[in-house]
Amino acid sequence: MAGTDDQTISGLIDREAVIEACCRYAAAVDATARDQSDATFAAYADTMTEDCVVDYGPFGRFERRDDWIEFARGLASRAGLCQHLYANFFVEVDGDSAHAVFNAQALHFWGEQPVGEQLLVAAAVFDNLLRRTPAGWRLTRVQPNIQFAHDPGGGALRMFPVSGGQAPPG
């Protein structure tokens, strides 16, 4: 029985570490909206493996962490103040790989916009993959699947402009 208890505890520790890795990503996104220093972006990059694919569907797909971080530097200056909330995690761990599916809510606020256009509220279901590294669990795929958005001010198009080689498919 002790072996089974040890396996259960080990599985729970991995599950919590995977959830924490996903939440570190959200916290890093929010931090870059307030502080666009190299240190803040280094902490953001540290949530992902070098080969991480970030796939925002029609808003762009980035095949490597460095490509995403380069885009995110510009995105941070366009994103307004933001808060990303994650909940309802379903985590499957298989050795040194993990799959995490969870709900997300994103709030973006632009105080300089007219009152009715200041807030973007979006909901997504994330479908992320992670890998255990010597430094802990890191994201290898970030894939939000947007379920709905309330965006009367067009904030999403300001954040993800269709120019610059990342045009939505169409």
Angle at alpha carbon of residue 53, lines to 71 and 146, rounded to 5°:
80
Which tops the pLDDT comparison, 170 or 90? Answer: 90
Contacts of 23 (CB under 8 A, 6+ apart): 86
167 falls within a domain: no
pLDDT of residue 59: 85
Q: Which amino acid is at 91?
A: V
Across the range 126-132, mean pLDDT stands at: 98
Q: Which amino acid belongs to residue 140?
A: T
DSSP for residue 63: S
Is residue 36 a contact partner of residue 76, using CB atoms and an 8 Å limit? yes
Sign of the C-alpha dihedral computed for residues 87, 90, 33 and 136 taken in this order = positive
Q: Report pLDDT for 4.
A: 84
Instruction: Answer whether residue 112 is part of any domain.
Output: yes
Under the banding of pLDDT at 50, 70 and 90, the label for residue 162 is: low
Residue 57: give its domain's CATH number. 3.10.450.50
| Per-residue pLDDT at 136 exceeds 80 | yes
Query: Above 90 in pLDDT, residue 169?
Result: no
The pLDDT, as a whole number, for residue 167 is 35
Tens digits of per-residue pLDDT, 79-117? 999 999 999 999 999 999 999 999 999 999 999 999 999
In total, how many domains does the chain have?
Answer: 1
Domain that holds residue 58: 2-159
58 DSSP 8-state letter: G
pLDDT digits (tens, 9 = 90+) for 110-127: 999 999 999 999 999 999
Q: Is 81 inside a domain boundary?
A: yes
Give the position of tokens 């208890």: 5
